[in-house]
Structure 1
């Protein structure tokens, strides 16, 4: 293994704050390193010093001679007068027929959705997120030894995040990436660097291994770290009890970790929360009946949709960028008129909505005053906490709470917006990309808060870890005019996108651009009639599974009522019904998967 970059006793300060204090690190060929830490803790500074963008105050940075390196920052510094093709392909100095026949270039352009932007589009006409994708593509089409990425997943959808992870795993290059996306970190990273208090702690493995290490460190901490310890234990308990742990190279004894979480209950008591939610909300939250909803550009988003949001439901909503998720959220909130059908809202509904747009607040107002203007105390589960305590849990120290709103960064304003939404004690909470600009510690705090939050929750997010962590059911928009339930969550969504031919759009064949078209042989695959028949059978199975989900929710509500009445006989009967539903769903899902395989094959 070759040594690519070395830091020796490097220090770096900004003003009075020391971000790096005599740090020594190295990047070897083949390393895939995830960099984590609190916002403002020095992650980006570490990357800039590592790559030579910023000089160290002291110490030495050594780069291997002839190192082929690309750096993708959050700034996306591109010439607005260049076309997308100029920015991505121009530096390669290739003729059209050369790059169009290059499989790696085509894969990057398709995987990041660059073709959909239009290769002749001016960079200045793109949104900030689109420019970030162009910047990322311009790096990945090159032959590299090392790529350094600062929050590359922020403007990618779920499929884009998975594509980027697969691409990096399949490339023979070293990776250093700052990311708050825990699924991406756990999938890609072979090592994790945690930047804090001027130092960098190095761990083997990705998010799962790092969580074990943090839990062990918290166990040995003093009493002042007790709250942090409890949070780490809770997160670890969910990891071990959920999907099988992906720990690759554990350095800490698994037995000790299991003992650490042995007395930790599940993150949520679903039955208790459902009972509490029903008391707060009644039976009706928001219902859309026979609804047709169109996007702002006139495309039909959903047609003839009947969707009843029940008390205590936790719903994840996924789909590609531009699929209409936010428009559907606006319809649920009552801000978007239905083309046809009607919207019914329960009398006791109190709506809280975290939008992607920032609140328009008085820039001279102190942060804490902006929170207390909503409420001074909030009830979360069985606990009442003050505005200051909630702000602290979401990353604002007591000192920072005195800061004027106008002096906050974009990420801090986003956290302030979230704090204000939660302070209003909504019982219907709509979260539109809540993970943007949140570091991992703040994400864990948010998840912990939501564990005890009683109410109905609808979340749009490209962070599959968040969806799997806080939601009980997942729905998707596939662009077919329907809202589709996904019993197996994000994994099923990705499988269905692939089965439906999503790669036709993401891996566009550019080999004919500027060159002669190739002659393809006849397609000996399945006929269109056979495909339509399979599609109908799969749709029928999906409807049956959706009915089972409805029955299951009804039974859960009946179990709450039976438990209140101490009716053990009814509880036993309902539990038997649940087991039968689980068996039937398993058979239907297996049948659906077999049909999906036929469709692909």
Structure 2
């Protein structure tokens, strides 16, 4: 039984309808992801379904007594209320504290927010999580979420996906987070050209099904072209009166999914990166860094030594507030370390995308502010004009001549990314580059980065993007180090879950005799700790040597591949030894 039905719904803002004669329904328990270009009608569709927008024509029917919970891109939280009052309403403390479901929602979304603080004192991200918590605490037959993952870190997104899958209510979600779509959706709707195309499954199934539809359409067109070629051949063989023998040229339809796209050629990219950068990109020696400046704010790095080499593609992971942006600012020379040295290669040509939007002259045109940097750029083996790259990132036709002041936040973000790429950098630092970008634009950006030869460090809550454009993951786990994650985001989530689960019952540090260890056992443990430290030093030296050897072997593909394989083994072993060292150090505390 459908909870909501749309019959021949049409709605427009301006002359072009965003929805045109749309008919569809949402059944109980369905979980639907909504995708499409920014400005293409996604928010309009869910607003019509929610009943907050009345369509120009057609009918929207809700089941009697339907309970709908809606999270829009803004919120109506009262700034004068406390967080506890805004989220929990009139519930007495013993009521919500005794409800496991409510406790899990508070823990998953706002554990770091003081419930007695005023809503008006919260940051934008904290308000977003507060509004989401308020919604999820309620009982609903249908939950409608518009970009729910905005301002959430990877852990919170993972928690939210698990929570939504575990609920019995139907779900309609608009998001550009492709991992989240795959995790929660059983169906996908694409809003395109006023219509809603429906697909079974999450994002991955949607991509496959869409490619299959394109393949079938291409096959149908090829059959039509074959018939046309036969007709043309008959005409050309016929009497002179039938034709002046035009030189027809009919192109065969191109198969859209004959083979999967080529993977990123890591060896080739490393070779080009080494040629552009040389041996040294960034070397950190015994660096200590606090987020708020020397000795101020949370500790981010503690006597950390780390090397970033040519062609490295690193994803930097951590909870909100762990210091990921601080590390990028350190590399960008926007902040100085408390102690230690940061050595930057002489050939480094840096581009740094921060979370703040660059202020540009609002009266200038989009194409002008890109061409003032460079009119042409070579990415991989192809040269692109500024106009071509603008088109790839969603500025098509007349959009290239829009005034900068008329751009939306998402359009400004795309323009900022493009201006950085046009400056032909060989090192890219990207802080939340996916904010406000739709899936189509994300696909284009990923494709551009696939052919870009240089060193890349990305901070992003978009797990799909992070795993798509980087080769290795590092984590800030609150211990002052940059920890390698051979298992990527899955390993990070596992390690964080273990840390959180063990935190409440963590033993208080006491003198050694109280845990029953003898003096001899104490000496043996410390000897083992020293052995692991020496092993880590040797592995670090070997890792540095391999980076140097790879830079020197830039023109020898086979040797470069062997060195890269050895480097990955060294890094994996180093991570294992680090874990053993941490476990032993905890025992000795």
Query: Shorter chain as normaliser: what TM range?
Result: 0.7 to 0.9
The 1:195/1:545 distance shift into structure 2, 3 A limit, reads farther
Cα offset for 1:578? 3.8
Cα offset for 1:343? 1.4
Equivalence for 1:189: 185
Q: Does 1:260 align with 2:257?
A: yes
The 1:33/1:406 distance shift into structure 2, 3 A limit, reads same
Q: Does 1:450 align with 2:449?
A: yes
The 1:388/1:588 distance shift into structure 2, 3 A limit, reads closer
Equivalence for 2:555: 564
Q: Distance in 2 between matches of 1:290 and 1:6?
A: 62
Cα offset for 1:539? 12
Cα offset for 1:265? 2.4
The 1:552/1:587 distance shift into structure 2, 3 A limit, reads closer
Cα offset for 1:115? 3.5
Equivalence for 2:228: none
Q: What SS does the aligned partner of 1:166 have?
A: helix
Cα offset for 1:213? 1.6
Contact 1:271–1:556, Cα closer than 8 Å, also in 2 = no
Cα offset for 1:218? 3.4
TM-score, normalising length: structure 1: 0.82
Deviations 1:399-449 (A, max 9, x none): 111100110111111111111111111111000001110111111111100
Cα offset for 1:561? 5.4
The 1:263/1:299 distance shift into structure 2, 3 A limit, reads closer
Cα offset for 1:562? 5.4
Equivalence for 2:481: 482
Q: Distance in 1 between matches of 2:530 and 2:218?
A: 56
Aligned length: 534
Q: What SS does the aligned partner of 1:289 have?
A: strand
Q: Distance in 1 between matches of 2:31 and 2:401?
A: 39
Equivalence for 1:175: 171
Q: 1:110 aligns with which of 100, 107, 110?
A: 107
The 1:571/1:387 distance shift into structure 2, 3 A limit, reads closer
Q: 1:135 aligns with which of 113, 131, 134?
A: 131
Equivalence for 2:427: 428
Equivalence for 1:243: none
Q: What SS does the aligned partner of 1:307 have?
A: strand
- The more displaced of 547-556 and 379-388 is 547-556
Q: Distance in 2 between matches of 1:542 and 1:363?
A: 56
Q: Does 1:98 align with 2:89?
A: no
Q: Distance in 2 between matches of 1:580 and 1:368?
A: 43
Cα offset for 1:287? 1.6
Equivalence for 1:517: none
The 1:348/1:584 distance shift into structure 2, 3 A limit, reads closer
Contact 2:3–2:28, Cα closer than 8 Å, also in 1 = yes
Q: Distance in 2 between matches of 1:535 and 1:416?
A: 55
Q: What SS does the aligned partner of 1:116 have?
A: coil
Q: Does 1:216 align with 2:216?
A: no
1:314-329 maps to which residues of 2 (within 5 A)? 314-329=313-328
1:14-53 maps to which residues of 2 (within 5 A)? 14-53=13-52
Q: 2:160 aligns with which of 160, 164, 180?
A: 164
Contact 1:20–1:199, Cα closer than 8 Å, also in 2 = yes
Q: 2:117 aligns with which of 105, 121, 142?
A: 121
Q: Distance in 1 between matches of 2:146 and 2:304?
A: 40
Cα offset for 1:549? 8.4
Q: Distance in 1 between matches of 2:526 and 2:82?
A: 40
The 1:82/1:315 distance shift into structure 2, 3 A limit, reads same
Deviations 1:9-61 (A, max 9, x none): 11100011210001111111110000000100000000100000100111110
TM-score, normalising length: structure 2: 0.83
Cα offset for 1:540? 8.6
Unaligned 5+ runs, structure 2: 222-254, 506-513
Q: Distance in 2 between matches of 1:529 and 1:324?
A: 38
Cα offset for 1:262? 3.0
- The more displaced of 294-303 and 308-317 is 294-303
Cα offset for 1:122? 1.1
Equivalence for 1:283: 279
- The more displaced of 212-221 and 149-158 is 212-221
Q: What SS does the aligned partner of 1:217 have?
A: helix
Q: Distance in 2 between matches of 1:387 and 1:110?
A: 47
Q: Distance in 1 between matches of 2:529 and 2:6?
A: 56
Deviations 1:110-169 (A, max 9, x none): 100x24211111111111221111111110001111100000001100000000000001
Q: Distance in 2 between matches of 1:193 and 1:186?
A: 13
Deviations 1:363-416 (A, max 9, x none): 111111111121111111111101111111111112111100110111111111
The 1:371/1:220 distance shift into structure 2, 3 A limit, reads farther
Q: Distance in 2 between matches of 1:172 and 1:550?
A: 54
The 1:429/1:58 distance shift into structure 2, 3 A limit, reads same
Equivalence for 1:295: 291
Contact 1:541–1:588, Cα closer than 8 Å, also in 2 = no
Deviations 1:286-326 (A, max 9, x none): 22211111111433211111111111000000100011110
| CA RMSD, 1 decimal | 3.3
Q: Distance in 2 between matches of 1:534 and 1:193?
A: 58
Q: Distance in 1 between matches of 2:22 and 2:530?
A: 57
Q: 1:152 aligns with which of 148, 155, 163?
A: 148
Cα offset for 1:259? 9.9
Q: Does 1:358 align with 2:357?
A: yes
Cα offset for 1:73? 0.3
The 1:454/1:165 distance shift into structure 2, 3 A limit, reads same
Cα offset for 1:503? 8.0
Contact 2:279–2:547, Cα closer than 8 Å, also in 1 = no
Q: Distance in 2 between matches of 1:579 and 1:397?
A: 45
